[in-house]
Amino acid sequence: MIKVMAMRGFRLGKVAGFEINIDWSWLIIFTLVIYSLAGFYFPRVYPGLSSATNWIMGVIAAILLFVSVLAHELMHSVVAKQYGIDIKGITLFIFGGMSQTGAEPGTPKAEFNMAVIGPVTSFVIAAVFYGVTVVGNGAGWPVPVVAITGYLAVINLILGIFNMVPGFPLDGGRVLRSGLWAWLDNLERATRYASYVGQGFGYLLMGFGFFNLLGGALIGGFWMIFIGWFLAGSARTSYEQVLLRQALSGVEVSRVMTTDVPVIEARTPVDDFVQNYLMRREYACYPVAENEQVKGIVGIGDVRSLPREQWQFTTVGEITHPIEEEMRVSKDDDAWDALLKLATDENSCRLLVMQNGNLEGTITQDNIFRLIRTKMQLGV
């Protein structure tokens, strides 16, 4: 089944005009980096430092690694913006980051430049930290300072090299796709072949991981298996998203929206809403209005969070999600953008199609996937 990759987490803020999101998985790797640096790396490479110093160094190094990865992803977004590609935001997750683009690059050259700038940025950062380390050693700087800069030089070099591996959707895989695209003059086929290479690389890593497990390297083996599994799945999903984008190319929200979803009055008791709507109709959530003005959306999840004994004493308006920008689309918006909103906002089971402040209809993932299935069955 075609699906959309969506990260879950929280918003950090904006940097250089781009919205930065942190996936919950990033907190896992952030914690592991601090623990491994403070508990193993720094004590072994720089013995003699106190435990407190090692932990402080671990935290500082992890934060600077976070900044390095963010710089890597920001450069992807900056170059994408230069090519007129809308950037929805940047999400940092367990293996790095991802720029959420509103469209595929228009040309192989744009794809190449957008992809290669990330590893180049990591190599430049590695060179800067290496230079600082050399200067620091020569000038007799404190050991903790040169220890941190030396680590960041090495880890950014590794980050750049790893991202240049031709495993789609890594940067190297996108460089590969740009070359295939220029050769085949077909984005779908280029993505398919790059995806195969990415999946193959992922399975290869998993195989090495199993051999490491048999050799007794449990932690390294499990990490390689996990990374390989993640890359193989990401390569497959990235190709599916290209197919999905192509299927939705030129499709406006007005073509897939639903216009017959009942609007619930805010004063309706929750118990009546459950009995007369949720139990009798197929829809999982509904728009809510108060004084003929749309107020928000209410669904099964909102009802489930309310104790059963309070249903008859609570109105729908009291548990309604108020309208936010993420819940709105217009009839002329692209269906792909609507799908991204539905996929990335865990509270949105339905978007409101608003025009000049008036409710024109609603749209769900099912509406969009129904069109996708039909187009795929017809081969159009």
268 HSE (CA, 13 A, CB side): 23
The whole-number pLDDT of residue 5 equals 47
Assign 213 a pLDDT band (cuts: 50, 70, 90).
confident
More confident residue, 95 or 50: 50
More confident residue, 324 or 146: 146
Report residue 111 as tokens: 């794809």
**Using CA atoms, how far apart are residues 192 and 235, in angstroms rounded to an integer?**
9
Beta strand 264-265 pairing with 96-101: unpaired
Name the residue with tokens 């197919």: 243
The whole-number pLDDT of residue 4 equals 45
Note whether 91 and 9 are within 8 A (CB): yes
Q: Is the pLDDT of residue 326 over 90?
A: no
- Summarised one tens digit per residue, pLDDT across range 3-32 is 444 445 567 777 777 777 777 767 777 888
Residue type, position 37, single letter: L
Report residue 361 as tokens: 């209809």
- Report the greatest alpha carbon distance in the chain: 78
Residue type, position 41, single letter: Y
**Using CA atoms, how far apart are residues 205 and 232, in angstroms rounded to an integer?**
10
Contacts 24+ apart (CB under 8 A), 176-180: 177/111, 178/105, 178/108, 178/109, 178/111, 178/112, 178/115, 179/108, 179/112
Report the side by side order of strands in the sheet with 9-15.
9-15, 18-23, 87-93, 96-101
Over residues 131-159, the mean pLDDT reads: 93
- Summarised one tens digit per residue, pLDDT across range 102-127 is 667 788 999 899 999 999 999 999 99
Question: What domains are defined for the chain?
Answer: 9-247 (no CATH), 253-378 (3.10.580.10)
Residue 199: name the closest of 229, 164, 226 by CA. 229
Contacts 24+ apart (CB under 8 A), 43-51: 45/147, 46/143, 46/144, 46/147, 49/143, 49/144
Note whether 270 and 279 are within 8 A (CB): no
Question: What are the phi and psi torsion angles at 28 (to 5°)?
Answer: -65, -50
Note whether 289 and 266 are within 8 A (CB): yes
The whole-number pLDDT of residue 152 equals 95
Beta strand 9-15 pairing with 18-23: antiparallel
Q: Coil, strand or helix: which one is 332? A: coil
Note whether 111 and 177 are within 8 A (CB): yes
Q: What percent of the chain has pLDDT over 90?
A: 22
Q: Which residues contact 353 (CB under 8 A, 6 or more apart)?
A: 253, 254, 257, 329, 330, 331, 359, 360, 361, 362, 363
Report residue 9 as tokens: 């987490």
The whole-number pLDDT of residue 3 equals 42
Give the count of beta carbons closer than 10 Å to the beta carbon of residue 280: 9
The answer to whether the peptide bond before residue 169 is cis (omega within 30 degrees of 0) is yes
Q: Is the dihedral of CA 379, 361, 345, 174 positive or negative?
A: positive
> What is the per-residue DSSP string for 106-167?
SSHHHHHHHHHHHHHHHHHHHHHHHHHHHHHHHHT--HHHHHHHHHHHHHHHHHHHHHTSS-
